[in-house]
Structure 1
Amino acid sequence: MSSASSYAAARQAAREAAGAQDYPKGALYVVATPIGNLADIGLRALHVLALADRIACEDTRHTQSLLRAYGLERAAGTLLALHQHNEAEAAQQVIGRLQAGERIAYASDAGTPAVSDPGARLAAAVQGAGLRVVPIPGPSSVTTLLSAAGCLHDGGFVFAGFLPSKAGERDAAVAALAQEARAVVLLEAPHRIEALAAALAALDERPVTVGRELTKQFEQVATLPCAQLPAWLAADAQRTRGEFALVLHGVAQAARADDGERVLRLLLAELPVKTAVKLAADITGAPRNALYEQALRLKSG
């Protein structure tokens, strides 16, 4: 049985469950799509992808393949490429078509658009033109991993997304995260996960939940101290493959008393003393003179 055939019942269910609802013309529909498992598609998402006059998407080939799997293949002319390199210009094309009364759906390659994916500029431009943006909720790696991490029972979370790729900037970002008491959600690509793990190891015993290939056949979810993350990745070559989401667990304020020195150590490993001291003062709020004296002691030691 083909994939399209297997979703025939889902398409019928989408028509029955969502078809009677109102889908105004001249509106942008921001559609969340699966992050790996095709069965995670929502009924409203299926209905909107079938109903839309045009589908704007991060990658037309990827989206056409997704639509084909559901039996919703579209004519190539009804797909509009809208990605990080052309979002501003393509948004104006979308606005023009919306003003002409079209319904347009937007889908990124996976998950919810505008969350570390293109779509935010598009939504802002459409709203700025006085047009409606309709969210069609669904899969997201952020909430998927948080639901399994079990770390939000006594606080909220911060979404940090992808940290900088340059080592010094990444280490400075990790030093800043050491001061964050709430849980922090990070995303990372396979070719950079080992560098991120090495940077996070400086956070010592702070727990991190790592999610690899979420919702897919070889999904892994593991919670361990940050210091052990590099060794965990190195223990199995498969563990560095696939897309990653990570959650740094929140920490109690009392456990952060030594964060000033920890931040300073992290920064001194990559930056000159004066720069490290300035950043450490900005991050922690500690007096700059005291940090400077501490930096000199650390350097001499």
Structure 2
Amino acid sequence: MPLYISQDRVKSYISRRLPTATLLLWFFVFGCTGPAFRVDGKLDPLAGSVSILPESAAALLDSLQEAHAKAIASLENQIVAKRDSLSSGGKVLEADLEKIRGKARSAREAYFRAFEGIRRFRSFGGNAIFSNEDRVIGTKKLLQEIADRFYKGKAFSLETETELRAFIRSRLVLREKKLMRARSSLNRIQRSKGGNTEKLEQLEKDYALARRGLVAETNGKIVSSLENLVMIRTRLDSVGNFTFSQLPSGRYYLYAPYPLPKGWLVPIHLDRHRRQELGPVNASNLLVIDVS
């Protein structure tokens, strides 16, 4: 005689043993009695997979990013106070230093934004030739490195090399020069500060290290928190198509963290069958970025 276990006992066991995301998935599979819908879409196949997250995902991401902004502001206030206490050059010199520091930061941001465009160039294998790690390499060296149409183990065509050279010369060289001038001015003013120059320089290094630590901590929380919210995930096919079937009506988010720090967290209202493309238009920065 087959053993019978009541549905109440199953639900009780699941609620004690399984995390929230698994409970939501269990509800999708076994507990949905209302109308069910399908979501189709397409994105870059290199993303590998796409997930469904609950409506609370955006609020969670906002709260983590807001907490990070507050932590950075608090750190900056502490650094300003220490900087003022160490500076012997007076308020005028300190104001000049802060102004130049802002210009250097803006120049670095502008160069990094321009560098994002280089990620569209692909090797014969379809992989991005450059990554964010290459942002610190000078444009002169980049032009030398691509001379044989081979860069860090990635081969590419003559046409790609020509386009790359045009991009580097037209989009990056001028911005790099502005960045170098800003850094030179910053170094010159920092050296001109008397008395506590070495302590001030160490303070700036500590400040940059602390900022990077906060960024790493926040991004770790973002990735793990969003991953914990995953209700259901599906793999992409060879061209990037995906399908979710039998989803109950409601408001959700399509989530694909690729290529970090960017990705997709796109709202979708399921009251009928939907098709949602995930492309450059609706991609956004999921992680916080250190631009100090």
The normalised TM-score by structure 1 is 0.22
Highest RCO, 1 vs 2 (Cα 8 Å, sep ≥ 6): 2
Higher helix share: 2
Q: Rg bigger for which structure?
A: 2
The normalised TM-score by structure 2 is 0.22
